[in-house]
Structure 1
Amino acid sequence: MNTRPKLAGFLSHPPKYMISLMFWLLALASLWLGNAYAATLEPEVSNGVAGALSYLAQNPFAYLFLTLAIGYPLGRITVGGICLGATAGTLVTGILIALASSAIYGITYDIPGLVEDIFLMLFMYALGMRVGPQFFSGLARGGFDFVMIGLIVVFSNFLIVFFGVKVLDLGPGYAAGIISGSYTVTAVMGVAQSAVSTGAFQLPEGVTADMVGANMAAGYAISYVLSSIFIILLVKYLPRMFGKDAVAEAIKAEQEFSGGEDGGALPGTAGTSLLGFTDKQIRSYVVEHEELVGLSVSQLFKKNPHAAILKVVRGDEVIDAQADPKLQMGDVVGVMGEYNLLLSGSDKVGNEVAEPRARMVDIEVADVHVGKSSFAGKTLTELGQELGFGVHLKSLFRAGVAIPHLPKTVVEKGDVLRLAGPAWCVEQAAKALKAKPIVESTYTEVSFMSLALFVGFVIGHASVEISGIPFALGTSAGCMLMGIFVSWLRTRNPDFGGPMSEGARSFLNDIGLSLFVAVLAAGVGPKIMSSFQGTVVIWIAVLGLLGALVPPFLAWLYGYYIRKMNPVVLAGACAGGRNSTPALNGIQDISKSGIAAVAYPVPYALTSAVVLILGYIAMVFS
């Protein structure tokens, strides 16, 4: 019995459980190596698991990537049709490692906050680059609803937590801490603490500022962990809970928010250089008609602008049309044109033959921005007669929207033409239009991306103080807005800012959020044990979960039943209202689309400011 083919197939396409097993083996190997290394440094504390965890604490790089290596396959495990996803899997893994290290061995992970900030800002910029092309059309279509969803979420969170703490008589500080944790906005702790330090909150007799701070920290730590995990699952599966297919609804939303006909990917986004399906073909004919002999390729194109000769085969010689050769009797020519036109080629040129050399033409798809050109203002028919040699128009975009490209459509300055044809033909047309062809590239202009991140950081870092409460957009939100702005401008002119490959953007998106969550888990994990104080921890957990999950669910009911919003877009708005970027990532994963992010920034920005005010009020009146 021959088992070699089966073995080869197994090795080339291993089962999913084998891939997960490989991750776990790598994790165990990393721990073993850490143990061996730590044993050479500190023999007295480096036995077994303790040595391995000590090694991870001394080397945060190892901790971060071990967390990702375990968290990603953990997030793929499906139970009852539900899975955590990569983000929640990484968060749970990081918390368990940090919690076990702290509770059992007293080992903590001290990772600089700069690491967390850098990866979060990279993720937010990459997210902005993805959502930017549809952001402003989404804002125009659903701006009011996005604002209402944000207000529903933030005020219902405040009411649930504030009055819940009052009813349960949990004491001062818990309300602000639970609001901060359930909303996953750490800055609420800062404004609440300022209310204590400035005297806006009067300390009751027998209560010290340190006691209030401890209550605040306990409420924050427990509610933060629980809300961070469960909000991902809630937002991710809201469409399914109401009988909606997230993938199908995302496709509908993309069509709705495109604002025009389906012209393919917008300029400056992924997929612009895909040839796709076309009615243009290249077929080969023998020159047999005397009236064609002696005419050049360009002269023949002027007589018939709907077909172009791209190759001339003369014996053993293959002549490119760029040399503008004159035809001779018996030449084999490769002609590109519409299928129905080429069917009559034998009547106008000669018999069709199977000559692959005449049809071997590399076709390029590129976006060309119409600049200050004398061709602006002409119809597509006129443009094709003068510049259309060897190219055909796949799509026409105006102000970032695909518009019908009909024969009488007038081309305006600022339009983007998507041309397909041999590279030299596309280059020739672009030069006449005072532009250069933009082809989707694997290259990323790092200098421009860095400049955009710098500007986004400065904008987000700027702070305005109102009544003693500092308000700032936030550096991560600033970077996201710059990503939106840059990608939006690229739909108008794909040459703006240099290219950013989709591979680079996708990598920044995935690794940025995952490492941010891993760093977050390292800091939050040890605080959980210190927060356990009898039955209080149960009430904190209950209020934290209610404050985290009920408000976005109420917002969902408003958007779904009253405003009849698209379920995927609505889920993105709920994630924004809850300030949960991982939740947004969850709905994008399950819908296999980035359209949910269209609804994210408006409620995110609104609630980021309002929750600070409410947190301050909760502290003052607690």
Structure 2
Amino acid sequence: MEWLINLIGPGHTELASTLVLYSFVIAAGIFLGKLKIGGISLGVTFVLFVGIIMGHFGYVVNPEVLKFVREFGLILFIFAIGIQVGPGFFSSFKKGGVLLNCLAVLIIVLNVAIVLAIFFIDRGTDISALVGVMSGAVTNTPGLAAAQQTAGTTEAINIMAMGYAAAYPLGVIGIILSMLILKAVYRINIDDEIHKIEEEIEGSQQKPLVLSFEVTNKLIDGKTLYQLHQILECDFVVSRLMGADGKVIIPTSKTELHVGDKIIAVLGPNDEMKFQGVIGHEIQMDWEEVQSTVLSRRIVVTQNKYNGVALGALRLHTAYSLNCTRVNRAGVDLIASPSLRLQVGDRLTVVGDPNDIERLATRLGNSMKRLNQPNLITIFIGIMFGIIVGSINVGFGMKLGLAGGPLVVAILISRFGYKFKLVTYTSSSASLLMRELGICLFLASVGISSGKGFAETVFNATGMWWVIWGFIITLVPLIVVSFIARGVYKINYLTIMGLISGGCTDPPALAYANNSTGSDAPAVAYSTVYPLTMFLRVVSAQALILCFF
């Protein structure tokens, strides 16, 4: 039995016992994290608490091994986050998301201001503890990781983890409590808010329309589709045309329109009235029942060489006699304009002869199996350059570090990687696996290393103040910003719920918002502010350590 004691007993640092310890901490943490209390679960963060418990009872890991696992897990997690939020990072600054992002930034500013106020009022408080408390109060693990990596010392890393663990539980509760306070003060009716936001979505939906028209305007009789584009000055695609003889053809830019022709067009919702005014009235027509050899199919781009290639460069009209009507990217339909740059994973809706469609499908790949293969070259190139960028001194002795560097590079690669022929498509399951594996390794390492002395540090007057400060850091900024959002800007309550959850990058709060409303409106607001918020949470935590540590 001695071999078993050496394997699972405390105080052993052999490779086998280390692997068993990590496996137990992660498995137990994930299992316990799924348990719900009041409809709320802590998720993967429970791995940290299990690690603390094991560290408290004397389980240890070789310091060099622990540091490697902790930093490697951090890099995997941060890089996966960057790849996930990158495509929406720049678009989140567009008109619809500017106000929400400004309010999310205000939350972060107030969080930092309260931390600084506590630091200057109570001069005996270590900034490392306060940064850990702040990260736990806003449930932001990447911020904790970035601060720990910036500080570097074992003592600072451990005290940050203790502050994080002390503040985290009430952080989750405080986020949800702020939603309930706002609802009670303004006497908000959820059903009314859902109805209002549904009306807003219907009024502003930008999904391309697929409509049929009959040409009745004699002024455009004999005009080509190219000339029609010049007249209308908007993006549209005419996928099929049926002439007076009843024959269906695939039109090109040189195809002439004649009175009596029937067409099916894909256009933006704001261009419908303009289109009717120039072409003619809309008609109801089932093109699938029309006897013709013209079919509509979807083709998936899986050949790496077409990553970043403009749609017009495929020469669909001349080479294949096909029309591409729209491109679906990550669940969003885009109008197939010639200048649109393709990305691996795009789904093209094409119309034409089945044989021509098959030839194009062979050229573009159209293999779902290939999409399931992870693009490891892009991942490790990104990690390599992320570490290099993170090691550069950006001024005032500040470095982005192993957290900020990979995050910045991942965001840039996911948005502009196609220009360097880097395939950034990653299946949702592969991305989730990399993210969850990374955060589990990181949290387990932090928990095990900070477990020794945790009880003595937290379960006393100091720990009590950490909990109180954490709750203040959580609740006060959210109350202020949510009241501004509702009282001043009249933002929908469901959107505010997503803003609050995204401002704290807190999935449990988002799950509560989704479950309590039955709407995906909170998730839309969450995804709008999440990219910028995540980036600023990491940077602000590092900045506090660099300025006051």
Q: Give your verdict on TM over 0.5.
A: yes
Cα drift, residue 450 of structure 1: 0.9
RMSD: 5.0
- What secondary structure is seen at the aligned counterpart in 2 of 1:393? strand
Cross-structure match for 2:29: 71
Residues 133, 465 of structure 1: CA spacing in aligned structure 2 closer, same or farther, 3 A cutoff?
closer
Cross-structure match for 2:445: 519
Residues 595, 260 of structure 1: CA spacing in aligned structure 2 closer, same or farther, 3 A cutoff?
same
Contact 2:386-2:406 within 8 A present in 1 as well: yes
Counterpart of 2:300 (choices 349, 366, 383) is 366
Cα drift, residue 461 of structure 1: 2.4
Cα drift, residue 145 of structure 1: 3.4
Residues 418, 233 of structure 1: CA spacing in aligned structure 2 closer, same or farther, 3 A cutoff?
farther
Larger Rg: 1
Is residue 500 of structure 2 the alignment partner of residue 571 of structure 1? Answer: yes
CA distance in 2, matches of 1:463, 1:176: 22
Superposed CA offset, 1:336-384 (max 9, x none): xx98244354xx89xxxxxxxxxxx9965324766485787xxxxxx66
CA distance in 2, matches of 1:474, 1:139: 26
Residues 145, 79 of structure 1: CA spacing in aligned structure 2 closer, same or farther, 3 A cutoff?
closer
Cα drift, residue 237 of structure 1: 7.2
Is residue 532 of structure 2 the alignment partner of residue 602 of structure 1? Answer: yes
Alignment of 1:78-93 (within 5 A): 78-84=36-42, 86-93=43-50
Cα drift, residue 404 of structure 1: 4.6
Is residue 131 of structure 2 the alignment partner of residue 180 of structure 1? Answer: yes
CA distance in 2, matches of 1:162, 1:92: 30
Superposed CA offset, 1:63-85 (max 9, x none): 2221222222212222222222x
Cross-structure match for 1:335: none
CA distance in 2, matches of 1:68, 1:193: 24
Counterpart of 2:89 (choices 135, 147, 170) is 135
CA distance in 1, matches of 2:335, 2:131: 50
CA distance in 1, matches of 2:421, 2:395: 39
Residues 611, 475 of structure 1: CA spacing in aligned structure 2 closer, same or farther, 3 A cutoff?
closer
Cross-structure match for 1:226: 166
Counterpart of 1:343 (choices 289, 304, 315) is 289
Cross-structure match for 1:393: 325
CA distance in 1, matches of 2:524, 2:434: 15
CA distance in 2, matches of 1:494, 1:155: 41
Cα drift, residue 182 of structure 1: 1.0
Cross-structure match for 2:51: 94
Which residue identity lines up with residue 325 of structure 2 in the other structure?
L
Counterpart of 2:376 (choices 438, 446, 452) is 446
Residues 234, 520 of structure 1: CA spacing in aligned structure 2 closer, same or farther, 3 A cutoff?
farther
Cross-structure match for 1:294: none
CA distance in 2, matches of 1:403, 1:364: 14
CA distance in 1, matches of 2:319, 2:205: 27
Cα drift, residue 175 of structure 1: 4.0
Cross-structure match for 2:248: 304
Residues 561, 60 of structure 1: CA spacing in aligned structure 2 closer, same or farther, 3 A cutoff?
farther
Is residue 61 of structure 2 the alignment partner of residue 109 of structure 1? Answer: yes
Cα drift, residue 456 of structure 1: 1.8
Residues 452, 158 of structure 1: CA spacing in aligned structure 2 closer, same or farther, 3 A cutoff?
same
Is residue 3 of structure 2 the alignment partner of residue 37 of structure 1? Answer: yes
Cα drift, residue 230 of structure 1: 3.6
Residues 423, 439 of structure 1: CA spacing in aligned structure 2 closer, same or farther, 3 A cutoff?
farther
Cross-structure match for 1:321: none
Cross-structure match for 1:209: none
Cross-structure match for 1:153: 111
Is residue 104 of structure 2 the alignment partner of residue 125 of structure 1? Answer: no
CA distance in 1, matches of 2:437, 2:168: 18
CA distance in 2, matches of 1:133, 1:528: 40
Cross-structure match for 1:270: none
Contact 1:123-1:509 within 8 A present in 2 as well: yes
- What secondary structure is seen at the aligned counterpart in 1 of 2:249? coil
Which residue identity lines up with residue 181 of structure 1 in the other structure?
G
CA distance in 2, matches of 1:156, 1:402: 43
Cα drift, residue 509 of structure 1: 1.9
Cα drift, residue 516 of structure 1: 1.6
Alignment of 1:462-481 (within 5 A): 462-466=392-396, 470-481=397-408
Is residue 411 of structure 2 the alignment partner of residue 484 of structure 1? Answer: yes
Cross-structure match for 1:283: none
Contact 1:222-1:544 within 8 A present in 2 as well: no
Cα drift, residue 604 of structure 1: 4.5
CA distance in 1, matches of 2:152, 2:327: 56
Contact 1:237-1:587 within 8 A present in 2 as well: no
- What secondary structure is seen at the aligned counterpart in 2 of 1:79? coil
Contact 1:129-1:487 within 8 A present in 2 as well: yes
Counterpart of 1:60 (choices 9, 14, 18) is 18
Cα drift, residue 154 of structure 1: 0.8
Contact 1:457-1:478 within 8 A present in 2 as well: yes
Cross-structure match for 2:435: 509
CA distance in 2, matches of 1:487, 1:611: 24
CA distance in 2, matches of 1:190, 1:119: 12
Contact 2:29-2:46 within 8 A present in 1 as well: yes
Alignment of 1:546-557 (within 5 A): 546-547=472-473, 550-557=476-483
Contact 2:325-2:350 within 8 A present in 1 as well: yes
Superposed CA offset, 1:488-546 (max 9, x none): 237x7897426433321121122222222122111122131342686444334433443
Superposed CA offset, 1:447-483 (max 9, x none): 12211121122112222352xxx31223223222333
CA distance in 1, matches of 2:318, 2:147: 64
Residues 161, 551 of structure 1: CA spacing in aligned structure 2 closer, same or farther, 3 A cutoff?
farther
- What secondary structure is seen at the aligned counterpart in 1 of 2:386? helix
Which residue identity lines up with residue 289 of structure 2 in the other structure?
L
Cross-structure match for 2:455: 529
- What secondary structure is seen at the aligned counterpart in 1 of 2:338? coil
TM-score for the superposition, normalised by structure 2: 0.63
Which residue identity lines up with residue 182 of structure 1 in the other structure?
V
Cα drift, residue 136 of structure 1: 0.9
Contact 2:166-2:463 within 8 A present in 1 as well: no
- What secondary structure is seen at the aligned counterpart in 2 of 1:456? helix
- What secondary structure is seen at the aligned counterpart in 2 of 1:471? coil
Which residue identity lines up with residue 379 of structure 2 in the other structure?
M
Cα drift, residue 241 of structure 1: 6.5
Equivalent pairs: percent with the same residue?
15
Superposed CA offset, 1:198-238 (max 9, x none): xxxxxxxxxxxxxxx98x78964542221244434544776
Which residue identity lines up with residue 131 of structure 1 in the other structure?
V
Cα drift, residue 90 of structure 1: 2.0
Structure 1 unmatched runs, 5+: 1-34, 167-171, 195-212, 265-276, 280-301, 308-337, 350-360, 377-382, 576-582
Cα drift, residue 486 of structure 1: 2.6
Which residue identity lines up with residue 249 of structure 2 in the other structure?
P
Counterpart of 2:207 (choices 256, 262, 265) is 262
Which residue identity lines up with residue 115 of structure 1 in the other structure?
V
Contact 2:311-2:338 within 8 A present in 1 as well: no
Structure 2 unmatched runs, 5+: 136-143, 213-245, 252-283, 515-519
Contact 1:569-1:595 within 8 A present in 2 as well: yes
Residues 489, 424 of structure 1: CA spacing in aligned structure 2 closer, same or farther, 3 A cutoff?
farther
CA distance in 1, matches of 2:21, 2:180: 35
